[in-house]
Amino acid sequence: MENKIFRNFISNKGLKLTKERLAVLNEIFSFRGHFEPEQLYLRIKDSEIKASRASVYRTLNLLVESGLVGKVARTEKGNVYEQTFGQEHHDHMICDRCGAIIEFCSQKIENLQDELCKKNNFDGTSHNLVIRGLCKKCKRTKR
């Protein structure tokens, strides 16, 4: 399914779904979780497919543009991404010390945001809520 969406998106841009681009797509959708572009590049490098770092990063940007992949947040280590296609909506807590990511979804917060949009006569299509702080483990070793 994601292949078809990406193929359409790519061809609408007048581009081709090359072997490298397909490999990036398949690698991202072969697992469920958060990842950094560099990890993605290293995983693809370990596979049979030869794709340059630049082409992996460019393809990742195309996937974000297509809506199949979303940027979770910008951290000290770089940007963190995740698959969005086929995933339930959720928000994130990110630990500033170790980078641990906790997913959560609160119907109360979702409803409140809908209400706020309505009040502002705004048609909300997406949001990205990130709470930064210290996770349970890092709190215990706080300086």
Q: Which residues bind Zn ion (CB under 5 A)?
A: 82, 95, 97-98, 100, 103, 135, 138
In this complex, which beta carbon is closest to Zn ion, that of residue 105 or of residue 112?
Answer: 105
CA distances from 72 to 50, 56, 102, 141 (A): 27, 18, 11, 26
Q: In degrees rounded to 5, what are phi and psi of residue 79?
A: -80, 145
In this complex, which beta carbon is closest to Zn ion, that of residue 90 or of residue 118?
Answer: 90
Beta carbon of residue 76, minimum distance to Zn ion (angstroms, whole number) = 12
Which residue type, as a one-letter code, is found at position 135?
Answer: C
* Token representation of residue 96: 């500033």
Contact 72, 91 (CB under 8 A): no
Beta carbon of residue 92, minimum distance to Zn ion (angstroms, whole number) = 6
Residues 11 and 79: their CA atoms lie apart, in Å, by 27
Going through 5-90 in order, the beta strands assigned E by DSSP cover 34-35, 69-75, 78-83
Beta carbon of residue 22, minimum distance to Zn ion (angstroms, whole number) = 24
In this complex, which beta carbon is closest to Zn ion, that of residue 58 or of residue 99?
Answer: 99
Beta carbon of residue 35, minimum distance to Zn ion (angstroms, whole number) = 10
In this complex, which beta carbon is closest to Zn ion, that of residue 27 or of residue 82?
Answer: 82
Beta carbon of residue 103, minimum distance to Zn ion (angstroms, whole number) = 5
In this complex, which beta carbon is closest to Zn ion, that of residue 51 or of residue 95?
Answer: 95
Contact 35, 50 (CB under 8 A): no
